[in-house]
Chains A and B, each alone.
Chain A
Amino acid sequence: GAVVSQHPSRVICKSGTSVKIECRSLDFQATTMFWYRQFPKQSLMLMATSNEGSKATYEQGVEKDKFLINHASLTLSTLTVTSAHPEDSSFYICSALSLFRLASSTDTQYFGPGTRLTVL
């Protein structure tokens, strides 16, 4: 099946620093990528929808100036957590929609392995 990678898999940083997380679709082109956040023992919460070449669409309650999203190409989207604080510590997961099956897009949404962010 299609593969989505995330880098880094784990990051620990000091409060106030910025952290960049990469999401790559390795063997397909993704017009749309999604960013989720998952707290322990909770479900995935959609943060934003990232479309190649345009601005991301953020879900209600998600600060766009804090969580910067760049979808520079059809295979790469980045999430930058700016001025991270301990409450930003979470598991961040991306998913990617395949370009070539738009008629039934949902079943071709592939998830990355996640990035665990710990802010001290």
Chain B
Amino acid sequence: QKEVEQDPGPLSVPEGAIVSLNCTYSNSAFQYFMWYRQYSRKGPELLMYTYSSGNKEDGRFTAQVDKSSKYISLFIRDSQPSDSATYLCAGAGGTSYGKLTFGQGTILTVHP
């Protein structure tokens, strides 16, 4: 079993839709949870960072973490074609200082 599971999609939505991206994880030591956006042939860009359980909102993006169910989500409101990318969730924490464990990534396409 992978430490972080993520449905690879692909996911295709119309412009303006609300997008829901999800991951589950198995490592109870994870305390930090991140969402990265990766455009084709580019390095990942940090979108959202959350510590422990709870919600965090930044503009059109909302990240949710439920540690009791080991479930993390990213919501994108009013999705735009420029949001088309691969979205990677990641967890970190415990004794592995700074190490991130990534999910497989979900390919998202927002069509006009």
Residue numbers of A with Cβ under 8 A of B are 4, 6, 32, 34, 41-46, 49, 91, 93, 95, 97, 104-107, 109-114, 116
Q: Is B108 an interface residue (CB 8 A)?
A: no
Contacts of B32 in A (CB 8 A): 106-107
- Interface digits, B9-37 against A, CB 8 Å rule (1 contact, 0 not)? 00000000000000000000000101010
Majority-rule SS of B interface residues: strand
Given contacts A43-B88, A111-B43, A111-B44, contact A106 B34 (CB under 8 A): yes
Given contacts A107-B32, A107-B46, A111-B44, contact A46 B104 (CB under 8 A): no
Partner among A44, A49, A106, A114 whose Cβ is within 8 Å of the Cβ of B92: A106
In the bound assembly, the distance between CA atoms of A113 and B45 in angstroms comes to 9
Q: Is B42 an interface residue (CB 8 A)?
A: yes
- Interface digits, B30-63 against A, CB 8 Å rule (1 contact, 0 not)? 0010101000011111100101000000000000
A-B contact pairs, 7 of them (CB 8 A): A4-B43, A43-B104, A104-B51, A106-B49, A111-B43, A113-B43, A116-B41
Of residues 40 through 99 on chain B, the ones whose CB sits less than 8 Å from some CB of chain A are 41-46, 49, 51, 88, 92-93, 97-99
What's the nearest-Cβ distance from chain A to residue B102, in Å?
A: 5
What's the nearest-Cβ distance from chain A to residue B54, in Å?
A: 15
Contacts of B42 in A (CB 8 A): 113-114
In the bound assembly, the distance between CA atoms of A91 and B40 in angstroms comes to 11
Q: Do the beta carbons of B43 and A114 come within 8 Å of each other?
A: yes
What's the nearest-Cβ distance from chain A to residue B31, in Å?
A: 9
In the bound assembly, the distance between CA atoms of A32 and B97 in angstroms comes to 10
What's the nearest-Cβ distance from chain A to residue B3, in Å?
A: 11
In the bound assembly, the distance between CA atoms of A91 and B100 in angstroms comes to 17
What's the nearest-Cβ distance from chain B to residue A8, in Å?
A: 13
